[in-house]
Structure formats: structure tokens, C-alpha cells
Homo-oligomer: A and B are copies of this chain.
Amino acid sequence: MREVAVIGTGATKFGELWEKSFRDIGITAGLEAVKDAGITSNDIDAVYIGNMSAGRFISQQQIGALIADYAGLAARHIPATRVEAAMASGGLALRQGFMAVACGIHDFVVVGGAEKMMDVDDTEAIEILASSADQETEAFFGATYPSLYAMIARRHMHEHGTTREEMAEVVVKNHFHGSKNPKAQFQKEMSLEAVLNAPMVAEPLGMMDCAPLSDGAAAVILCPLSRASEFTDKPVKISGTGQASDTMALHDRKDICIHEATREAAKSAYKMSGREPHDIQVAEVHDSFSIAEIMAIEDLGLVKRGGGAKATKEGVTKLGGRIPVNTSGGLKARGNPLGATGIAQAVEIVDQLKGRAGLRQVKDARVGLTHNVGGSGSTAVVHVFEAGW
């Protein structure tokens, strides 16, 4: 198996991109990554796209070929593949692109993620999102993700003494980080009071505990590590990849305060990279809800079990803390265009390891991690990245 490097990154601003179409944003992110890598489109051997639901948001399927076509790659007939696992679609696409390079079938692969969510009304968007929960036992009966994560939050409060204020600290931190990211959907800080006083969505989760609906796209360029030095002085190696599944329905889990899929995916990625949680210097985790980040940092082993809320309040995961988490602003402040999210996480970690993360730079970071979740924890994918120089 060949070692795989990331040699370029690109992303659109995330947010309400009314003036741009799905194909526009996909191509913008891809071309930025191509330019950043210093390759040309003639070098590209394959395209992978993470996308959750263009078939419903914009009535367009087969979007691998669509993006390849509108990026001018149809003339070269390169393969283009879409991968989907709800909100983990981007992370899974990255893993498939990794395998394509690792096995030797392709050399230069663009892995993109894109979603255009604002072209439908909010009610329809919520229904589309919920269709990735178990339709027969959850979505059909009206369960939405805020309601499922509200149950998780309640149980976490009961088990570990987590408070609404501590959950709100996740939001305050991620908005603080987002304020330093020129591509974030929300670039302003938010006070603890503002988070706590926001309207309730599903108690104990208020509006500000939930990641927004977003449009956006992100892309990375992969190639064999052995060739990366031709294009960059600072290749970033993907040293570990792990993916795992769990039950679709929340009620089938033994302990809803644990994402077993995250734990198993992390175990695989740590093992493959030879790293352990204490080696990770910066992480992008799936904070679709404030409680989700608290669970994630516990399940990934970045903090101790049940200690996620306290660690957040103590600043452990804030820029300058022991292990900065979601320096991009995370899903909460950077935005959450579903299929793009897993790739945007990789973009942030690569930019951090290359030392070009601007005002949100984690000093001397050489090992980072991404963590992308589908559904209420039914799919999880974890990647470990390392400075390859």
C-alpha cells in the first residue's frame, strides 16, 4: 500500500450562497485546490465527491460526472465517483480517494465535497436531513436530528453532570474560532448569554446549540507521498484512516452517550498511523450540535470519558489550550454544507499542519485529526494527518 499525501486545498466561503449554483461552488473549490497544489487539470486522474443529497436539494444526481464535466475534465474522460453516508459523505469520499491512490490505480485525485441546501425551504431541508435517520422507526414518526441529539444531551447531563452552560461553551469557543476564519459562515463572536437565551429547538438544545444550514464546497488534492515533493515543500501525509458503523436508530444503542462508530473508527485510524490520542495537536470534530462535540472529544480519547463538558469550560479545546478543537469554527460557525463538511475539516487540518492557518494557527502543529459523523452516529470516519517533511 502506497503512502498518500495531500498537496493542495481549496474551499468556497460557507453560507447562504444565493448567487452561486451547485456546479459553480464545486468547481470553485476544486480549481482553488488544483492551483494550490501547483498541478494542472491535465494531471488529474480521478475525482471523488462527497455529497449527501443533491438529488433532493437540487434534483440532480450523478454529480460526480456533473462536476467533472463542468470542471472541463469530461474531454479527458476521467472517472468521477460520488460517495454518500449522510453528513459523513465528505469523510467517506476522502477515504475512497485515499484507497484509490494507496492501491496504485490513480496518482492524482481530487476529492471534493459540496452541498447546496438553501434552494429548498427550511421544512423541506429538515425532512431531507431526517431521511438519513431510520425512516421506518425514527423519521417517519417525526424524529429530527435536534430531537435525537436532545435526548443524548439529556442523558449526558444525567450521567456526567453536564450543564447547559457547559454545552454553550462549545458554541462560544467555536464562534470565537470562526471569527478568525475568513471563509466561515459566521465570523462573529457570541456571548454565553446569547447562546443560552436563544429560542429552544428541542430542550435542552437551543437554536445556537445547532449547526446551521449552509451552502459550500471544499476540495483537496491527493497523490502518492513519493511524488509530493515535486509539488510542495510541505506535503501533509494521511497516516491513518478509519471508518465504522452503528445502528441506524438511536434507541438500538447500548449507551447513547457514546458513539461506538467514532470509537471504532478512531481505533482503526490511530492503529494505522501508530499514533495515540495524546499525539494529536489539533482536531476538527463533528459538532453538529454542542453536545456532539462534547461526545466527540470523549470518544476520540482527547479528553477523559464524561469529561468533555468540563474540559471545554476550562479552555482545553480552545486556541491556546492543550488540544484546540474546531479551529475553523467547526460545523457551528464555519458552517455545515453536509457533503462538504468532511472535506472542509481536512482542509483546515492540512492548512494548520502547513502553518498557514492565519489568526487561528496552532503553533508547531505536526499531527492533526478529522472526525466526521453521519446520522445520530450511524457512520463515523476518522483521519490522522501528519506533517510529511
A245-B74, A378-B69 known; A1 vs B105 contact (CB < 8 Å):
yes
Q: Verify A77–B260 contact, CB threshold 8 A.
A: yes
Contacts of A92 in B (CB 8 A): 81
Does A65 reach chain B (CB closer than 8 Å)?
Answer: yes
A73-B245, A78-B244, A86-B62 known; A55 vs B131 contact (CB < 8 Å):
yes
Size category, A interface: 35 or more
From B55, B127, B244, B264, give the contact of A53 (CB < 8 A).
B55
Q: Verify B248–A77 contact, CB threshold 8 A.
A: no
Contacts of A79 in B (CB 8 A): 243-245, 265, 381
A85-B64, A96-B81, A260-B77 known; A247 vs B59 contact (CB < 8 Å):
no
A80-B85, A84-B84, A99-B103 known; A248 vs B65 contact (CB < 8 Å):
yes
Q: Verify B84–A247 contact, CB threshold 8 A.
A: no
Min C-beta distance of A63 to chain B, whole Å: 8
Contacts of A247 in B (CB 8 A): 69, 74
Q: Which of A128-150 contact B (CB under 8 A)?
A: 128, 131-132, 134-136, 139
Q: Verify A77–B375 contact, CB threshold 8 A.
A: no
How far apart are the CA atoms of A25 and B110 in the complex, in Å? 34
Q: Verify A64–B245 contact, CB threshold 8 A.
A: yes
Contacts of A86 in B (CB 8 A): 61-62
Does A102 reach chain B (CB closer than 8 Å)?
Answer: yes
Q: Verify B264–A77 contact, CB threshold 8 A.
A: yes
Does A277 reach chain B (CB closer than 8 Å)?
Answer: no
Min C-beta distance of A225 to chain B, whole Å: 14
Q: Which of A55-76 contact B (CB under 8 A)?
A: 55-56, 58-62, 64-66, 68-70, 73-74
Q: Verify A83–B82 contact, CB threshold 8 A.
A: yes
Does A374 reach chain B (CB closer than 8 Å)?
Answer: yes
Does A27 reach chain B (CB closer than 8 Å)?
Answer: no
Min C-beta distance of A75 to chain B, whole Å: 9
How far apart are the CA atoms of A95 and B77 in the complex, in Å? 17
Does A104 reach chain B (CB closer than 8 Å)?
Answer: yes
How far apart are the CA atoms of A249 and B74 in the complex, in Å? 11
A1-B104, A69-B248 known; A84 vs B99 contact (CB < 8 Å):
no
How far apart are the CA atoms of A60 and B56 in the complex, in Å? 11
Does A261 reach chain B (CB closer than 8 Å)?
Answer: yes
From B61, B74, B84, give the contact of A246 (CB < 8 A).
B74
A96-B81, A100-B99, A131-B55 known; A62 vs B378 contact (CB < 8 Å):
yes
Q: Verify B102–A62 contact, CB threshold 8 A.
A: no
Contacts of A131 in B (CB 8 A): 55, 59-61
Q: Verify B78–A245 contact, CB threshold 8 A.
A: yes
How far apart are the CA atoms of A381 and B252 in the complex, in Å? 38
Does A52 reach chain B (CB closer than 8 Å)?
Answer: yes
Contacts of A317 in B (CB 8 A): none
Q: Verify B78–A62 contact, CB threshold 8 A.
A: no
How far apart are the CA atoms of A235 and B65 in the complex, in Å? 33
Does A379 reach chain B (CB closer than 8 Å)?
Answer: yes
Contacts of A65 in B (CB 8 A): 85, 245-246, 248, 374-375, 378-379
Selected A-B contacts with CB under 8 Å, 12 pairs: A59-B131, A60-B135, A69-B245, A69-B246, A74-B245, A74-B248, A77-B244, A77-B245, A79-B243, A80-B379, A83-B96, A103-B104
Interface residues of chain A, those whose CB is within 8 Å of chain B, are 1, 21, 23, 47, 52-53, 55-56, 58-62, 64-66, 68-70, 73-74, 77-86, 92, 95-96, 99-100, 102-105, 127-128, 131-132, 134-136, 139, 241, 243-249, 252, 260-261, 264-265, 374-375, 378-379, 381
